[in-house]
Amino acid sequence: MVALAAIFIVSAAAAAETDPLPSWNDGLTKEAIVGFVEKVTEEGGPDYVRPEDRIATFDNDGNLWAEKPVYFQLLFAIDRVKQLAPEHPEWKDKQPFKAAIEGDMKTLAASGLKGIAELVMASHAGMSPAEFQKIVSDWLATAKHPRFKRPYTDLVYQPMLELLSYLRDNGFTTYIVSGGGIEFVRNFSEAKYGIPPAQVVGSSIKTKYEVVDGVPTLIRLPEMNFINDKEGKPVGINQYIGQRPIFASGNSDGDYQMLDWTTAGDGPRFGLILHHTDAEREYAYDRDSSVGRLDKALDDAPRKGWVVIDMKKDWKTVFPSEN
Amino acid sequence: MVALAAIFIVSAAAAAETDPLPSWNDGLTKEAIVGFVEKVTEEGGPDYVRPEDRIATFDNDGNLWAEKPVYFQLLFAIDRVKQLAPEHPEWKDKQPFKAAIEGDMKTLAASGLKGIAELVMASHAGMSPAEFQKIVSDWLATAKHPRFKRPYTDLVYQPMLELLSYLRDNGFTTYIVSGGGIEFVRNFSEAKYGIPPAQVVGSSIKTKYEVVDGVPTLIRLPEMNFINDKEGKPVGINQYIGQRPIFASGNSDGDYQMLDWTTAGDGPRFGLILHHTDAEREYAYDRDSSVGRLDKALDDAPRKGWVVIDMKKDWKTVFPSEN
C-alpha cells in the first residue's frame, strides 16, 4: 500500500513535471487536445495516424498572436504608407490610403484583409523579397503595441507556443495558414513559432524574375496573387501542403472553411477555435468585431464538434513573460 | 608501420563501405558534389551553412526520372484525352487535342509544357484532388514505357536517388521544382524520392472550394494557375519555399533561371546540370531536343561554375535494378 502510494505520487509528480501544456488550465479543452494527440499517436490503436499525415494548420492573427486593435500587418502597412506618402500625393484622396495617412483605424479595419492587401500591394512592391524582409525586420524591432507597450512579436500566445511544440514533439508538422501576407509572417515564424518559411501559407502579391544589370533578381509587384482567407484557406493548403490536415486551429469566421474541410475528412480530426473572452489580460470580442469576427463558426462549433477555447477560463497565462 | 598500414586499410575499407554515392563513378563530378557537402556541413568552417538554410532544389523530368520519348505526364495526358474523347467531339479538330488523339507525338512535344498544360487543364479538371490522385495512381500502376517496358516510376535515376538521400543525411531539405503538374508529381514523390507532397513545387491549375451537398470539397478547374518553368522557377521557389536554395539541380534550359538565381546568392552555392550523353543505357540529347532542350545552360556552365554530369561517364548505373 505504501509502495503503491509512492508509485502514484512519483507518477503524478513526473506527469506534472512533464506537462507539455503548462499554460493551459486543466479542464475539458486541454483534455480534448491531449486526448486527440494520444489517440492518433497510439501505435496499433484504432485512431492511429502515420506521422506523415499528422498535418496541423494554424491561423496566425488572433490565433497565434494578437490582432487588436487591428491586424499588426495593417499597422505596419500604415507606417509604411505614411513613410512613402510624400512620393504619392494621389494617396491623399484615395481610400484606403487616405484613412491610413489620417490614422482612421475604423475605416481601415472595415476594409478587412482586402484593404490590407491594397495597402500592401501599393506600398510593399518594387523591391526584392530580401529587401522587404529587411523593412519588416526593422519595423518589428522598433514598433510597439499601443496598449501593451511591447514589440508585436512579444504578443504571441504562450499557450499556443506550447501547443505547437507539443504537436511537433508528437510527430506533427505544424503550418501557419494565414490571411496575412506570406512574406510578412515568414519574417518571424521561425524565430517565434519554430515554423520555417516553407511551412507558412498566406496571402501573396505577384513576384517577377528579372536579370537586372546581370544580377538574377526577384521583384515584388503591385498585383494580387492569392488571398488566403475563407474559401482561400483550403485552396492554399491544398496548393502548398498537398494534404488535408487532421488538426486545424483558428479564431474567426475567416477560418470556417479551413476548419470545415479539415474536420470533414475521414478518420480522427480536430477543430479548435480560440474565443477571445478576456478583456482584462487581452481582449474580449466575437460577433461584432470588424477584426477577427467570430460568429458563424461559434454557432456551428457544437454541431461540428469543434472545441472552443475560452481564453479567460482555459489559459493560465496569455503572453510570454517579459524578460 | 604495420599498425599505421592497418589503420589505413581499415579506414579505406570503411570509406568504401559507406560511400554515399555508390552509383557514381569516381571523378571530378562526384568529388565536386562531396566536396561541397563537406564544406557546408563543417561546423566552424569558413563555408559552414546552417541546416535550416541547406535548401536543395531538383528539377524532375529528365533530372530525377527520364523524359523521353516525351514527358511522361504528356503520355498520361494523352491516354486521358483518348479516354475522354467520346465526350468531347470538338477535340477532333482542335490542337493539341487532335495531336493527342492521333498520337502525333512530334506536334505534341513541340507544344512543350504549355501544351501539356492545355491538355491537363481540359482533361484533368472537374474532379477533386483526391479523385485526381486515384486516376494518376491507376495510370502509373499499369502504363509501361515504350522502350524500357517498365512502369514509368521505375525510370527514376538511381544516382539521383542516392544524391537526394546523401543531401538529406547531411541536413539538407530536398525539394522538387518541376515544370510538370504539382499534383501529378506529388502522386509518387514520397514513395519514389522520399520527398513529401509539401516539398514539391510545380505547375498548377486553379482549384475552387465549394460545399457540395453539405460536403466541403475542392474542385480542380480548367484554368491555369501557375507555370513553374524558366522564369517561373525562382518565382515558385520563393512562393513555396521562401528561401533561396544553396544547391540546384536541373538538366535543361528550363532550369537556367533556377540555377542562375541559386548560384548568384552569397556564400557557397552549387549548380548541377545533368547532360544526357548515354544513348545506350538511356538517351543522348541536348541542343536539338524539343523535350529537355539543353543549350544555353550548357554553354554558360563553365562561366557560371555549374558542374555538368556526363551521364555516360559519371554514372555507374542509370535506373534501379529490376526486382
Q: What is the pLDDT of residues B261-277, one digit of tens each?
A: 999 999 999 999 999 99
Count CB-CB contacts under 10 A for residue A216.
21
pLDDT, residue B175, reads: 98
Buried b (16+ CB within 10 A) or exposed e, A237-263: bbbbbbbbbbbbbbbbbbbbbbbbbbb
The pTM of this model reads 0.92
Judge contact between A315 and A275, C-beta under 8 A: no
Percent over 90 (pLDDT), chain A: 82
| Nearest Cβ partner for A242 among B200, B210, B225 | B200
Cβ contacts of A211 on chain B, cutoff 8 Å:
260
Cβ contacts of B264 on chain A, cutoff 8 Å:
215-216
Confirm or reject contact between A269 and chain B (CB < 8 A): no
Which whole number is the average pLDDT over B71-84?
91
Judge contact between A251 and A273, C-beta under 8 A: yes
* Chain A residues 175-194 within an 8 A CB cutoff of chain B: 182-183, 186, 190
* Three-state helix/strand/coil letters over chain B: CHHHHHHHHHHHHHHHHCCCCCCECCCHHHHHHHHHHHHHHCCCCCCCCCHHHCEEEECCECCCECCCCCCHHHHHHHHHHHHHHHHCHHHHHCCCHHHHHHCCHHHHHHCHHHHHHHHHHHHCCCCCHHHHHHHHHHHHHHCCCCCCCCCHHHCECHHHHHHHHHHHHCCCEEEEEEEEEHHHHHHHHHHHHCCCHHHEEEEEEEEEEEEECCEEEEEEEEEEEECCCCCHHHHHHHHHCCCCCCEEEECCHHHHHHHHHHHCCCCCCEEEEEEEECCCCCCEECCCCCCCCCCHHHHHHHHHCCEEEEHHHHECCCCCCCC
- The whole-angstrom distance between B94's CA and the closest CA on chain A is 30
Distance CA B50, CA B33 (A): 18
Task: For residue A120, name the pLDDT band (cuts at 50, 70, 90).
Answer: confident
Judged by CB atoms closer than 8 Å, whether chains meet at B242 and A208 is answered as no
pLDDT, residue B323, reads: 54
B4-8, B15-19, B317-321: the lowest-pLDDT one:
B4-8
Judge contact between A301 and A308, C-beta under 8 A: yes
Give me the total of CB pairs closer than 8 Å, taking one residue from chain A and one from chain B.
88
Tell whether the model's pLDDT for residue B2 goes beyond 70: no
DSSP-assigned beta bridge partners for residue A217: A210
- The whole-angstrom distance between A109's CA and the closest CA on chain B is 26
| Nearest Cβ partner for A243 among B197, B234, B261 | B197
Cβ contacts of A198 on chain B, cutoff 8 Å:
173, 198-199, 240-243
CA angle (A237 as vertex; A153, A194 as ends), nearest 5: 30
Judged by CB atoms closer than 8 Å, whether chains meet at B218 and A257 is answered as no
Tell whether the model's pLDDT for residue B126 goes beyond 70: yes
| Interface predicted TM-score of the whole assembly (ipTM), two decimals | 0.92
Whole-Å CA distances, A120 to A259, B20, B234, B282:
27, 47, 22, 50
C-alpha cell recorded at residue B76: 498520361
Closest-CA residue of A relative to B237 is A198
H-type alpha helices, A208-310: 232-240, 256-263, 296-304
Confirm or reject contact between A198 and chain B (CB < 8 A): yes
Judged by CB atoms closer than 8 Å, whether chains meet at B261 and A218 is answered as yes
Distance CA B198, CA B205 (A): 17
Task: For residue A253, name the pLDDT band (cuts at 50, 70, 90).
Answer: very high
pLDDT, residue A14, reads: 52
Judged by CB atoms closer than 8 Å, whether chains meet at A216 and B264 is answered as yes
SS3 A307: strand
Judged by CB atoms closer than 8 Å, whether chains meet at A198 and B235 is answered as no
Judged by CB atoms closer than 8 Å, whether chains meet at B235 and A199 is answered as no
Judged by CB atoms closer than 8 Å, whether chains meet at B198 and A242 is answered as yes
Residue type, position B232, single letter: G
**DSSP string for A125-154:** -SS-HHHHHHHHHHHHHH---TTT-S-GGG
Interface with chain A: mutation pick from B239, B258, B260, highest number of A CBs within 10 Å: B239
Percent over 70 (pLDDT), chain A: 94
Cβ contacts of A185 on chain B, cutoff 8 Å:
none
Which whole number is the average pLDDT over A117-124?
80
Count CB-CB contacts under 10 A for residue A89.
8
Which whole number is the average pLDDT over B161-176?
98
Confirm or reject contact between A146 and chain B (CB < 8 A): no
Distance CA B257, CA B255 (A): 6
Judged by CB atoms closer than 8 Å, whether chains meet at B190 and A52 is answered as yes
Cβ contacts of A186 on chain B, cutoff 8 Å:
242
SS3 A93: helix
Confirm or reject contact between B211 and chain A (CB < 8 A): yes
Whole-Å CA distances, B247 to A18, A97, B45, B177:
40, 42, 18, 12
| Closest residue by Cα to residue A189 from A81, A61, A4, A69 | A61
Cβ contacts of A174 on chain B, cutoff 8 Å:
none
| Nearest Cβ partner for A216 among B204, B209, B234 | B234
Interface with chain A: mutation pick from B50, B189, B210, B218, highest number of A CBs within 10 Å: B218
Cβ contacts of B215 on chain A, cutoff 8 Å:
264
Judged by CB atoms closer than 8 Å, whether chains meet at B241 and A197 is answered as yes
Judged by CB atoms closer than 8 Å, whether chains meet at A243 and B211 is answered as no
Distance CA A283, CA A261 (A): 28
Cβ contacts of B218 on chain A, cutoff 8 Å:
234-235, 238, 261
Q: What is the pLDDT of residues B80-101, one digit of tens each?
A: 999 999 999 999 999 889 999 9
CA angle (A295 as vertex; A290, A296 as ends), nearest 5: 135
Which whole number is the average pLDDT over A114-142?
89
Tell whether the model's pLDDT for residue A2 goes beyond 70: no
Cβ contacts of A190 on chain B, cutoff 8 Å:
52
pLDDT, residue B111, reads: 77
Tell whether the model's pLDDT for residue B117 goes beyond 80: no
Count CB-CB contacts under 10 A for residue A210.
12
Tell whether the model's pLDDT for residue B45 goes beyond 50: yes
Confirm or reject contact between B216 and chain A (CB < 8 A): yes
Count CB-CB contacts under 10 A for residue B282.
21
Residue type, position A214, single letter: G
Q: What is the pLDDT of residues A181-233, one digit of tens each?
A: 999 999 999 999 999 999 999 999 999 999 999 999 999 999 999 999 999 99
Which whole number is the average pLDDT over A31-50?
98
DSSP-assigned beta bridge partners for residue A57: A175, A248
pLDDT, residue B1, reads: 45
| Closest residue by Cα to residue A97 from A121, A124, A78 | A78
pLDDT, residue A15, reads: 53
Buried b (16+ CB within 10 A) or exposed e, A59-86: bbbbbbbbbbbbbbbbbbbbbbbbeeee
Residue type, position A253, single letter: D
